[in-house]
Each structure stands twice: as C-alpha cells, then as structure tokens.
Amino acid sequence: MIIHKNSRRSSLLLLSGATLMLAAATPGAAAGAPGTSLSPAGHRFSAVAAGPVVFEAGPIVVTCATSSSLPGTGSRNTIPDGPAAANPAGPVAVRIAPPTFKDCTTDAPGLRVAVETNETAGPWQVQLQYGTPGTARLSIPSGGFVLKTSGLLACTATAAPNGPAVAEGRWRQEDGSAVLLERAPIPVKLEGSFFCATSVTSATITAEYTVRNTTDPARPITVGPSLPG
C-alpha cells in the first residue's frame, strides 16, 4: 500500500477516512430480495479482521493494524434462535459487540490516533442477505465511532454524525465465512482546529472480517435461502 506523505491538512483528512469504517444504519429489504436464513441457530461467533483496516479520504490513508468484534455478555454476536434466524422477505440482522480498532496510524509524523466505539445511541448490527453474491451491511448507531488525533493536531472525526448509517459490503462463504468491505463509503464529521479539514464529509473503508463459530468451531456460520415453513 502506498502511503502519501502530505501536509498537516492531509493528516486531518486521514481522520475522516478512519471514521467511515464504522458503518451503518438498518436498511430495509431491497425490492424483490430473496429470503435469508442464518445457521447454526443459537451459536456465537467472532468477527476478526484478517489484515489491516484501511480508511481513505482523498489521497490520505489511516490504517488500523487490528480490529475485532467478539462475543461477550448478552445476545451480541449470536445467531438468533427460532423464527428470528430467518426472514422470507430480505436480510437477517444480528446485533454485534462494537468492534475495537487498535494500533491505528497515519502517514503524518508526530500524529497519534485513537479510536473509540460505543452503543450510546443504539446497537451495532450486521445485516446478512442471501444471494449471488450475498451482501453484508455493517451498521453503526449515530456517533458510535469516534476517532481522535493528538500530537501536532487535535481533531475529532465522528462516523454517522446525523443518525445511523450503513457501510455496504459483501458476504463470502466459499473460502471461509467473511464480511468484505471494499472502499465502502460512510458519512463523517470532522471537528477541531483550522487544519482539521472540516469540509470533508465522507470517507471509505476497506477490510476483511473473518467470521468464526466460537460455540462449535467445526461448524461454519452460513447464510442460505429462507425455505418455506
């Protein structure tokens, strides 16, 4: 990956890129979408980035070395039981733990980056839709992802600043279950000093999250068609 060494203004742009990763609103089913079912019902899963998560805003790049959403208390990262595991008219939504982002860096010397996520305004979700290819939407509540820089510049980038937003991605199953985001756009808001590039309102994210069954590792998490009752 080519890292661009730009001015202080560009370093701020990076921030906006980083925000986009947190995607997501809860979109409804597209017209004519096939039904969807998830399995194994009741099993828990982890979603761990297979490599760096990259945020871009124009020519600027922010990279987080690690990211994950892991099962904890409650129903987060759990395939629903019973009827909730299937939707005859569209995607199935699953609540997930807010993902963590660690070891994030920019191409700007002397600039440190930290990312915080939260559920203050609502739950994080992943929505999975059966199809060829299958789709995956990572959704985040309003203000659920906040990136801050310190050092030479103090700026704050917030994803989904005006309400829930969605990052459109793809579900891969043939080579191991995964959610793929390829330069998925997300709205952002930049705040801070004059050099914080507050005119930037969107960024993109690229990531591959490997999805593994933590209840029974021998059984993959799968997305299939919703079959009649």
Q: Could you read off the pLDDT of 177-222 as tens digits, one per residue? A: 999 999 999 999 988 887 888 888 998 899 999 999 999 999 999 9
pLDDT at 3: 33
Q: What pTM did the predictor assign?
A: 0.85
What pLDDT sits at residue 155? 87
The per-residue pLDDT for 19 is: 35
pLDDT at 93: 96
pLDDT of residue 27: 41
Distance CA 5, CA 11 (A): 9
- What is the structure's pLDDT at 82? 87
The parts of the chain modelled with pLDDT lower than 50 are 1-31
Residue with tokens 């099993």: 43
- Measured on CA atoms in the order 199, 203, 63, 167, is the torsion positive or negative? positive
Among 220, 112, 202, 125, which Cα is nearest to 160's?
202
